Amino acid sequence: MNRRLLLLSPALLATPALAQRAPAPPAPGAAALTERDRADLTRVEAYLNALTTLRARFLQIAQNGAAVEGTAWISRPGRMRFEYDPPEPLLLVAYAGQFLMYDRELRAPTTLLVSQTPLAILLRREVRLSGDVTVTGIERSGGFLRVTMYRTSEPSEGRLTLVFNPDPMELRQWAVVDPQRRETRVSLFRIETGLRIPDGLFQFNDPRFFEPGGMGAPQSGG
């Protein structure tokens, strides 16, 4: 995989398939939940399960401080598209159980299963923050609610923290710590929900899909 994808993809994928694996720290155990914690998790689950479509601008900041922007689309269940602003040539798309990472300069695609990534938690048909998801912490600070978790069966895969505005409930950010212990944050702004999003934005079988601005995706600005 080229260096650009290694720098940017941890924000979405954080999977051992993307890089040489470093020794992972011991996975934290499940948090001891209070009544308030359980109530907040119930609200988070209800919000995510009611979320059908989302479009937003995003700001992605890597561990080394490098920042990129772009436009994100989510269509639950199972579909996501990240269109990076030029000059970044990256396109990341989840569809039909696969994650596609495409470098337009190199014309190089890389694919892996959505189920192998922490963000599978967001894209599944029914979100449950228990059982096959282990919640390791709930934090309330700065007016935000932060919920940290990992897939129970893959504790070394990476940790995902979802950050919400709690009232009204709205997803504002996520942070991924990958197996190499690098953290990448993606912040959402200009958020719109309940939109009709064309299916073509997520389907790989049209050459226009891979071009900047193709299939209705803006080249920049959003």
Burial pattern 105-129, b for ≥16 Cβ within 10 A else e, equals eeeeebebebebbbbbbbbbeebeb
Q: What confidence tens digit (pLDDT) does each residue in 69-124 have? A: 999 999 999 999 998 998 888 888 998 888 888 888 888 788 888 887 778 888 99
Q: What confidence tens digit (pLDDT) does each residue in 156-185 have? A: 778 899 999 999 999 999 998 887 788 889
Given pLDDT bands bounded at 50, 70 and 90, which one contains residue 26?
low
Given pLDDT bands bounded at 50, 70 and 90, which one contains residue 213?
low
* pLDDT value for 32: 86
* pLDDT value for 119: 80
* pLDDT value for 75: 95
What is the rounded average pLDDT of the residues 59-78?
Answer: 91
Q: Distance between CA atoms of 216 and 65, rounded to whole angstroms?
A: 31
Shortest CA distance to 99 belongs to which of 160, 176, 181, 15?
15
Q: What confidence tens digit (pLDDT) does each residue in 125-150 have? A: 999 999 999 999 999 999 999 999 98
Q: What angle do CA 126, 162, 180 make, to 5 degrees?
A: 110
